[in-house]
């Protein structure tokens, strides 16, 4: 069934032309719950993405084959459809266009400043430093001489970053001059900006901040633990709540998150933060103007007992959202984990002995089937599926994850 009956009735009664229209940027699996939530809210949904076999297209009322990383193209489509709201979640590709369209059409969402910094990590870092946000020191680097100067200042290791890429592409940790030089040259070849960003590398523990802003105020702001896959730079493969350093670092993290949103100029938006802590101090790595990936909307939904996807839709339509969020549930813990393979090969079988009637197992989903080629995990595109758990304590959900993983076996050839 494609339509919820309530919204189907709504469509017949009032006629499609009278329905409010929302554009959803992206049509991948991660946008599907957002598209569904928009339909359940009685909105006419236009799903925008480059053409492809994306599951989101079948979920929306209409498809718009548009490159969502191209703000002008998205604006043209948004105007043509006369939309009243625009939204995305869990991925960065559409964020600059989202900010641009909101600004140009006067819609509720991240403004132009925020959109500009979302397109450029150097501008974001400049805004952070100017506003006293605790973050790694940085330099704009255009030549090999400037690279050497930056390294002399920070010492190894350094982070060498493309300013205009996302999803851990073009982000390197470098421990030698040779590595740094190679990364710098490879970024300079592919980056459109003509410079790269070099930062002191904070050898700390990665964690996450998740929040929503309405008229510049947090309607909620939470921190959670990040499970990081140890690649060249750590990549998140899971999150869990509550934050285990809440007592020591919770307040400090919220203060820095507040400064960071002000620095960048977010006022009506979901925001997601990459944070690090080291020696009792919190560092903001970056802020993203959209809900986080790796099941963060599901964790927010469970923690605050709301449908977070509906909150994202309501916010995009300029509706009040603050009353949806009260205190996070007490004595509650939850966790998400991306399933992955540690080797490449043909998938022979998947065996799942887990008891899925267990109320603490919220979801175990597998995206691959026997015969598929699976890759050794390097980023989110190599995922095999996901697990979402809830329970009374962080320790409990972590133990449950171990049990779930023992009872779920991917047989990979070779
Ligand atoms: N200065 C730094 N020190 C330590 N780790 C960093 C630093 N900058 C980035 N990282 C690590 O690299 C990851 C990706 O960098 P980020 O700037 O968030 O780019 P992306 O847009 O690809 O997520 C971060 O989540 C963090 O783990
Ligand atoms: Mg990041």
DSSP states along 302-355: HHHTS-HHHHHHHHHTT---GGG--SPPTT-EEEEEEE-BSS-EEEEEEEE---
- Residue 272 phi, psi dihedral angles, 5° rounding: -130, 135
Ligand 1 within 6 A of CB of 379: no
**How many angstroms separate the alpha carbon of residue 171 from the centre of ligand 1?**
7
Give the nearest ligand 1 atom to 199 CA.
1
Contacts of 186 (CB under 8 A, 6+ apart): none
Q: What is the pLDDT of residue 168?
A: 66
In the block, residue with structure tokens 């009792």: 280
157 preceded by a cis bond (ω within 30 of 0): yes
Write out residues in the chain with pLDDT < 50, as ranges.
1-10, 12-13
Ligand 1 within 6 A of CB of 150: no
**How many angstroms separate the alpha carbon of residue 43 from the centre of ligand 1?**
36
First to last CA, the chain: 41
Secondary element (H or E) of residue 152: helix 144-154
| Closest residue to atom 9 of ligand 1, CA basis | 285
Q: What is the pLDDT of residue 114?
A: 83
Ligand 1 within 6 A of CB of 233: yes
The alpha carbon torsion through 346, 352, 356, 362 (nearest 10 deg) reads -40
Q: What is the pLDDT of residue 380?
A: 79
Q: Which of 293, 315, 299, 311 has the alpha carbon at shortest distance from 383?
A: 293
Could you give all domains of the chain from N- to C-terminal order, each with its CATH number?
5-115 (3.40.50.20), 137-200 (3.30.1490.20), 203-329 (3.30.470.20), 331-414 (3.30.470.20)
Alpha-carbon torsion 287, 292, 293, 296, what sign?
Answer: positive
Q: What is the pLDDT of residue 348?
A: 97
Structure tokens belonging to residue 7: 């919204």
Alpha-carbon torsion 146, 147, 148, 152, what sign?
Answer: positive
How many whole angstroms separate alpha carbon 149 and alpha carbon 68?
37
In the block, residue with structure tokens 């171990």: 402
**How many angstroms separate the alpha carbon of residue 79 from the centre of ligand 2?**
31
Measured CA to CA in angstroms, residue 178 lies from 119, 147, 183, 184, 393 at distances of 28, 11, 9, 10, 46
Ligand 1 within 6 A of CB of 136: yes
Q: What is the pLDDT of residue 3?
A: 38
Q: Are 42 and 15 in contact (CB under 8 A)?
A: no
Contacts of 229 (CB under 8 A, 6+ apart): 235, 236, 237, 340, 377
Ligand 1 within 6 A of CB of 93: no
In the block, residue with structure tokens 């920070």: 154
In this structure, what DSSP letter does residue 163 have?
T
Ligand 1 within 6 A of CB of 133: no
**How many angstroms separate the alpha carbon of residue 234 from the centre of ligand 2?**
10
Give the nearest ligand 1 atom to 204 CA.
4
* pTM of the predicted structure, to 2 decimals: 0.93
């Amino acid at each position: 069934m494609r339509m919820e009956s309530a919204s189907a009735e709504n469509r017949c009664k009032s006629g499609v032309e009278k329905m409010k229209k929302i554009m959803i940027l992206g049509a991948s699996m991660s946008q599907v719950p957002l598209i569904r939530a928009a339909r359940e809210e009685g909105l006419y949904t236009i799903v925008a993405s480059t053409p492809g076999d994306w599951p989101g297209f079948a979920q929306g009322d209409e498809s718009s084959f548009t490159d969502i990383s191209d703000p002008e193209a998205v604006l043209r489509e948004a105007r043509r459809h006369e939309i009243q709201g625009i939204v995305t979640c869990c991925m960065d590709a559409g964020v600059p266009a989202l900010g641009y369209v909101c600004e140009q059409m006067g819609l509720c969402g991240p403004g132009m400043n925020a959109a500009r910094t979302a397109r450029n990590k150097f501008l974001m870092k400049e805004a952070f430093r100017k506003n006293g946000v605790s973050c790694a020191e940085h330099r704009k680097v255009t030549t090999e001489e400037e690279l050497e100067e930056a390294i002399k200042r920070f010492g190894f290791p350094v982070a060498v970053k493309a300013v205009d890429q996302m999803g851990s592409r073009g982000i390197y940790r470098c421990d030698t001059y040779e590595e740094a030089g190679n990364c710098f040259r490879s970024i300079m070849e592919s980056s459109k900006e003509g410079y790269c960003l070099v930062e002191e590398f904070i050898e700390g523990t990665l964690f996450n901040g998740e929040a929503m802003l309405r008229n510049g105020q947090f309607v909620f702001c939470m921190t959670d633990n990040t499970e990081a896959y140890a690649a060249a730079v750590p990549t998140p493969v899971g999150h869990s709540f509550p934050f285990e350093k809440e007592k020591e670092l919770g307040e400090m993290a919220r203060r820095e998150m507040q400064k960071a949103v002000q620095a960048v100029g977010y006022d009506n938006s979901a925001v997601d933060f990459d944070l690090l802590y080291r020696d009792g101090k919190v560092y903001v790595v970056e802020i993203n103007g959209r809900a986080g990936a790796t099941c963060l909307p599901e964790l927010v939904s469970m923690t605050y007992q709301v449908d977070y996807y509906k909150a994202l839709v309501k916010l995009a339509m300029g509706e009040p959202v603050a009353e949806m969020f009260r205190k996070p549930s007490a004595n509650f813990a939850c966790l998400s984990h991306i399933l992955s393979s540690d080797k490449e090969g043909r998938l022979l079988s998947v065996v799942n002995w887990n008891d899925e009637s267990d109320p603490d197992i919220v979801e175990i989903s597998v995206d691959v089937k026997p015969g598929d080629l699976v890759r050794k995990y390097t980023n989110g595109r190599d995922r095999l599926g996901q697990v979402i758990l809830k329970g009374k304590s962080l320790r409990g959900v972590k133990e449950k994850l171990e049990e779930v993983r023992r009872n779920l076996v991917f047989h990979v050839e070779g």
